[in-house]
Structure 1
């Protein structure tokens, strides 16, 4: 049985969910961002116990198919932006369609309906959050960050950064260092 879980955004989230399921007596086959596979189907009561336990940690079981799809889109984007080592030189619509096995127009429509924003805006927000992280670590130049995040130029990154945050990357680095959002807040 598959459970879809909202707000799983990192490896620590996976460890917490796995540990809590094991404490409740369930041994998951796999625990991935946003998704857990259990050996057997579970009762409504067991599902409620799992939901209550996970809610204490800020997670939420997703029952509705549209909400599940929107969460899978978010998880795929988070994986792409935050956990891929290669530069982001991909076609987002093709990537998402391939990952979720759903045509992009349907993904886009469902995501916009559930999240009240476009996939593109969410993708940009995640890229800007990644840029903030890279600026905070101060290991790469702005030019290298622009390349890693697949911006056509430093000017394009700077303009988008300012539009989202209200600050230029340089100003952010000086004034707002450390004022980042958690991935589930983006």
Structure 2
């Protein structure tokens, strides 16, 4: 909404504004791009022009939406989900993501799931079994193993210590 409002204030004719993507009716000059970059940077956004960076950001956005905002468990594997969402072959998506982010999609996905588990543990409303189920883990042991690998603590130890050392989603 912020991006849309600011682009309209700058006088651009918008075709569509979606999460992470803006389509304009006209082409942009270098000066227009600078104006847009300045304006959206003020609000904490970044203008992405490089195709590889755009793909990596779309992957991150898709995974964040999947892990943090989707209530239904994923009914297909992650590679199919991303290929469908981005309309690209998974091999290409994976290669670009690894190049841009210096980590694999799987590691990023696990990091997001661990952050969500930390959030759920902090709220203390669900059992570890319920958390494992909601995050689509095959077992509590699988969740615990990944949690410990990422944080150095078991979920129970994390909960006991109530560290609250959670990262913001863009830092994961």
**Aligned equivalent of 1:45:** 31
Instruction: Please give the alpha-carbon distance, in whole angstroms, between the structure 2 residues aligned to 1:64 and 1:89.
Output: 32
Shift of 1:27: 5.9
Aligned to 1:90: 76
Aligned length: 172
Partner of residue 147 from structure 1, selected from 133, 136, 141? 133
Match of residue 33 from structure 1: 19
The structure 1 segments of at least 4 consecutive aligned residues displaced by more than 4 Å after TM superposition are none
Matching residue of 1:100: 86
Q: Distance in 1 between matches of 2:18 and 2:67?
A: 16
The CA deviation at 1:58 is 2.6
Map of 1:43-122 to 2, 5 A cutoff?
A: 43-122=29-108
Change (3 A) 1:101 1:89: same
Structure 1 146/52 Cα, relative in aligned 2: closer, same or farther at 3 Å?
A: same
TM-score (normalised: structure 2): 0.90
- Show the counterpart of 2:165: 179
Return closer, same or farther for 1:170/1:28 CA change in 2, 3 Å cut-off.
farther
Larger relative CO (CA 8 A, sep 6+): 1 or 2? 1
Distance, in Å, in 2 between the alignment partners of 1:116 and 1:37 is 29
Question: TM-score, with normalisation over the residues of structure 1?
Answer: 0.84
The alpha-carbon distance between structure 1 residues 148 and 47, as it changes in their structure 2 partners (threshold 3 A), is same
Q: 1:59 to 1:132 in 2, by over 3 A?
A: same
Report the alpha carbon displacement of residue 42 of structure 1 after superposing the two structures with TM.
3.1
